[in-house]
């Protein structure tokens, strides 16, 4: 400690036991593992996971042993900005759809499909996250991508942020954003004058 400034250290969360709410931090540069309890984390909306990089201060517990406190995720600032942008994107998209329905530019059934698929995505993501923690049978990633493709991607964005699930896996995110692009392109075509002409032609030819 220099003056009133408390020394902060950096390390990696290891041996985290989520059900018990505690684990250990291995300091960068070596040294003994530091005990950490869930209440020591400043971000109460995010559950710790193994390999999370954190900064922390050290205090002496009642039993005389050192433990971490005032623990902060090192990527919180970046994740918060990215998560807020994605969440706003999903909200604005659904709001635009609702407006289109109100102006009779979009069939209500399509909007209801997005809402239903988004709610289903939330449920499936939550169950898959729970299964991952308990080493149970997982939901295939193709199922998550199909839900996003048929209109559940706004709910998937919310689920990835809330449950911190599938948000770091690059291969999954690449396919996830491909499904969003394809879904939005299909919706844009459906709202275009050309789609009305094409659908009318197909209907009259049968």
pLDDT digits (tens, 9 = 90+) for 93-148: 999 999 989 998 888 999 999 999 999 999 999 999 888 878 889 999 999 999 99
Tokens at 50, concatenated: 């193994």
Distances (CA, A) of 190 to 143, 187, 199: 24, 5, 9
pLDDT digits (tens, 9 = 90+) for 144-160: 999 999 999 999 999 98
pLDDT digits (tens, 9 = 90+) for 14-48: 989 888 899 999 998 878 899 999 999 988 767 88
Report how far residue 70's alpha carbon sits from residue 120's, in angstroms, rounded to the nearest whole number.
Answer: 36
Among 53-57, 65-69, 125-129, 201-205, the minimum mean pLDDT is found in 201-205
Tokens at 62, concatenated: 């009642």
Cite the DSSP H helix spans in the chain. Answer: 76-102, 108-134, 141-147, 153-163, 170-191, 193-204
Pairing of the two strands 34-37 and 9-17: unpaired
Closest CA to 185 of 152, 157, 149, 158: 149
Distances (CA, A) of 44 to 41, 73, 119, 188: 7, 11, 24, 39
Q: Which CATH class is domain 9-73?
A: mainly beta
Model pLDDT, residue 5: 64
Tokens at 184, concatenated: 């939005």
- Name the residue ranges covered by the structural domains of the chain: 9-73, 79-193
The phi and psi torsions of 35 (rounded to 5 degrees) equal -65, 140
User: Which residues, in sequence order, are CB contacts of 17 under 8 Å at separation 6+?
Assistant: 23
User: Which residues, in sequence order, are CB contacts of 156 under 8 Å at separation 6+?
Assistant: 118, 121, 125, 144, 147, 148, 176
Report how far residue 190's alpha carbon sits from residue 39's, in angstroms, rounded to the nearest whole number.
Answer: 50
């Amino acid at each position: 400690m220099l003056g009133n400034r408390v020394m902060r250290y950096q390390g990696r969360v290891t041996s985290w036991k989520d059900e018990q709410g505690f684990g250990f931090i291995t300091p960068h540069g070596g040294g003994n593992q530091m005990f950490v309890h869930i209440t020591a984390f400043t971000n109460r909306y995010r559950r710790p996971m193994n390999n999370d990089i954190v900064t922390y201060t050290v205090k002496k517990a009642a039993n005389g042993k050192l433990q971490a406190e005032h623990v902060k995720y090192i990527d919180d600032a970046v994740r918060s900005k990215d998560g807020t942008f994605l969440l706003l994107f999903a909200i604005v998209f659904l709001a635009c759809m609702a407006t289109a329905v109100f102006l009779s530019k979009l069939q209500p059934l399509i909007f209801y499909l997005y809402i239903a698929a988004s709610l289903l995505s939330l449920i499936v993501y939550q169950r898959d996250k729970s299964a991952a923690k308990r080493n149970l049978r997982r939901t295939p990633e193709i199922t998550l991508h199909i839900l996003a493709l048929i209109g559940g991607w706004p709910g998937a964005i919310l689920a990835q942020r809330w449950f911190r699930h599938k948000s770091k896996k690059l291969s999954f995110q690449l396919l996830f954003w491909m499904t969003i692009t394809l879904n939005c392109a299909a919706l844009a075509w459906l709202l275009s004058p050309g789609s009305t002409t094409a659908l009318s032609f197909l209907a009259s030819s049968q």
